Structure 1
Amino acid sequence: MATQLIPEDLPSDDEINKMSTLSGLPHKVIKHWFRNTLFKERQRDKDSPYNFNNPPTTALEESKEDVVQSQPLTLSPCSLSPGLPVNTGPQTQSTDFFRGEPNRGRRSSRTRFTEQQLETLQGVFEATPYPREEEYDRLSALLSLPNRVIVVWFQNARQRARKNQDRGTDDEPPYTKSA
């Protein structure tokens, strides 16, 4: 079963109940998995650097997905026998499979910008606070930073500029050296 499941609509409650019985997972876990998968597929259709739910895929992540897709989920009918506990294996493993988000709990560390990176970003920001996608790509290549980091830096810079404008302090730069 190497085909990828992309649900167009959520399965019916009867179908979810069957999956719940076969897998030993609670009804709500399966229902949430389908909702999340459908949402992610819709987000994936939106090709934009502002789409933070769809981080860029690296070759390593692609190969990891290939391994996961090539290993089908096997369900043992003996685990559904009456009188036996439904879940005999570790629940976290199957729950992680249905979540589809391995290692999402860890937050990445704060980006440390060099003086040159900050000066370049600030110069571009002063000229164009809302750069086009091509400009983000050019800055990403020039500064050796991920596109998403640059998009977030511009969002933060615009917010700081608005905050400073509200306070009446336009002379303060929209970045701090400790950021």
Structure 2
Amino acid sequence: MAWIHKRLTSVPPGLEYWTTTHERDWPEESHLRILENTFWLIPSQHRSIIDHVEFRGRGQQPRSGGGNNGHVIRLSHESVRARLNNTPGREFNITFLHEFGHLVDMHYQVTRYVMRRRDAAGRALLRTGHTGVTQMAGERIADCYMIYLLQELAGVPYQHPADPSAYRGEQARDRFDVLLQSPAFAGIAASR
């Protein structure tokens, strides 16, 4: 498969993205603007974890949602265009944030940290519902990272579809505190 390599330059040091050579599969300008807004939301200390983003073509894997390999995030053709990632008033790509949460989890071993805590807050985080096909503990960490960035840093309300009460009030604070105490946020001034 042939790829075209481009860079979003408004976000230092720039985020490289790849598209297929098929023009019909290219992301629209609005998709790129949303991706830029989303990348700005990620703490600068985490941005170097990603190598690039792949905008997948129609029929390529993943067919819906996203995926990653530890350094590359793959966004499906359908997910980039889905309402979830194109909601007026919320200029963020939810799928990208979730997948970036996986990169942070892998890089800093957040799931391992939470499992070793052996406390009620950690268990609550790892038992939070998740709507995706994959039901492993890392999905909960990726969701928590995504929702923390949306709600606490961007000030955008987000209703977790699988477990709506998990990210409201004290339950949300407990989950966010576990994430913020992890190695991923060591030395980063957390905003609340």
Check whether TM > 0.5: no
Query: Bigger radius of gyration, 1 or 2?
Result: 1
Q: Structure 1 or 2: larger helix share?
A: 1
Scaled by the length of structure 1, the TM-score of the pair is 0.28
Scaled by the length of structure 2, the TM-score of the pair is 0.26
Higher relative CO (Cα under 8 Å, sequence separation at least 6) belongs to: 1
